[in-house]
C-alpha cells in the first residue's frame, strides 16, 4: 500500500512535486493578452529568477537577507514595473484584475488558499511561463514550482493581472525612448520642402549659474562707449538672446511632457 504525503500550505509555504507538465500550450503563452506588456513582463520574470535561492524570512523583502512571498512580489513589481502593491498576498489579490487560469501570461500573479475546502488567499507567486511560477516557500526559500503539481493544483485560488502594468511601461518609456520626429528644413532654400529626421532626446536643464549672453554682459567684458557699438552687432546679440529664451521655453515644455 502506497502512502502519499502532502505538504500543508501555511503562509508562504509549499513543497514541490516531481511531475511538472505544462498547463498551457506554447501557442497560448506566445499570445499577449490585453493589458500585459511583454517588456515589463520580461523584466519582472528576469528579476524574479535573480531571487531564486533567497532564504525564507517572514516579513522580509530583501533578496540577500530573506523574504516571504508577498514581500518579494511587492519589491519586484515596485522596482521593475513602477507599481505599488500591498504588503500581503490577500490584498495583492484584491489589487489585481482577475483572469482565468488559461489566460495566464508571464508576469501575472497566482494565488493559493491554505485549505482545499476554501478560504482566503494566503500565498502568492509570479507566473513565469509553461505552468511554472516563482514563489517564496517557507521551507525552501525562493524556488520554482509548477501549477500542475497536485498540491498547488488543489490549493489554487485564482490568477490575477496587476492593474496599471501597461501604463507603468508607457510612463517609463517616455523617459527612456529616443524617437524620431520630422521637421521642415527651412534653412536650405535651394531645396524647399525637404525634411530631416532628428532624434528627440530627454532635454537637459540649463544650469542656473550659466549667464545669458546679453548686450550688457558683452559690454562689461569689453568696455566701450555704447554709441560705438555697431547697430548690426546689437541686433545680432539681441536676436541670440531671444533664441535662447525660446529654446529654454521649448526645453521646459519637453521636460513637462516627459514628467507627465
Q: Which residues are catalytic?
A: 69, 123, 135
* Cβ-based neighbour number of residue 175 at 10 Å: 9
Q: How many CB atoms lie within 10 A of CB 129?
A: 18
Residue 69, all three cell numbers: 512571498
Contact 88, 99 (CB under 8 A): no
- HSE value, Cβ hemisphere, 13 Å, CA-based, for 176: 6
At residue 137's C-alpha, the angle toward residues 144 and 86, to 5°, is 100
What is the Cα gyration radius of the chain? 29
Amino acid at each position: 500500500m502506497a502512502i502519499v504525503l502532502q505538504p500543508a500550505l501555511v503562509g508562504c509555504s509549499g513543497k514541490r512535486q516531481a511531475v511538472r507538465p505544462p498547463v498551457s500550450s506554447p501557442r497560448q503563452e506566445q499570445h499577449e493578452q490585453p493589458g500585459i506588456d511583454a517588456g515589463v513582463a520580461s523584466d519582472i520574470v528576469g528579476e524574479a529568477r535573480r531571487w531564486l535561492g533567497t532564504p525564507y524570512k517572514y516579513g522580509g523583502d530583501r533578496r540577500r537577507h530573506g523574504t516571504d512571498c508577498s514581500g518579494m512580489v511587492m519589491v519586484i513589481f515596485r522596482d521593475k514595473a513602477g507599481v505599488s502593491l500591498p504588503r500581503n498576498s490577500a490584498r495583492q489579490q484584491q489589487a489585481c484584475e482577475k483572469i482565468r487560469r488559461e489566460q495566464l501570461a508571464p508576469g501575472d500573479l497566482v494565488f493559493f488558499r491554505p485549505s482545499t475546502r476554501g478560504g482566503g488567499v494566503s500565498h502568492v507567486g509570479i507566473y513565469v511561463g509553461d505552468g511554472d511560477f516563482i514563489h517564496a516557500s517557507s521551507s525552501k526559500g525562493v524556488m520554482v514550482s509548477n501549477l500542475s503539481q497536485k498540491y498547488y493544483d488543489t490549493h489554487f485560488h485564482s490568477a490575477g493581472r496587476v492593474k496599471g502594468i501597461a501604463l507603468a511601461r508607457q510612463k517609463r518609456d517616455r523617459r527612456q525612448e529616443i524617437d524620431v520626429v520630422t521637421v521642415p528644413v527651412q534653412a536650405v532654400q535651394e531645396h524647399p520642402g525637404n525634411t530631416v529626421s532628428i532624434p528627440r532626446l530627454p532635454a537637459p536643464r540649463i544650469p542656473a549659474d550659466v549667464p545669458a549672453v546679453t548686450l550688457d554682459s558683452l559690454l562689461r567684458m569689453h568696455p566701450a562707449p555704447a554709441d560705438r557699438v555697431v547697430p548690426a552687432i546689437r541686433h545680432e546679440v539681441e536676436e541670440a538672446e531671444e533664441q535662447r529664451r525660446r529654446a529654454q521655453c521649448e526645453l521646459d515644455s519637453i521636460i513637462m511632457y516627459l514628467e507627465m
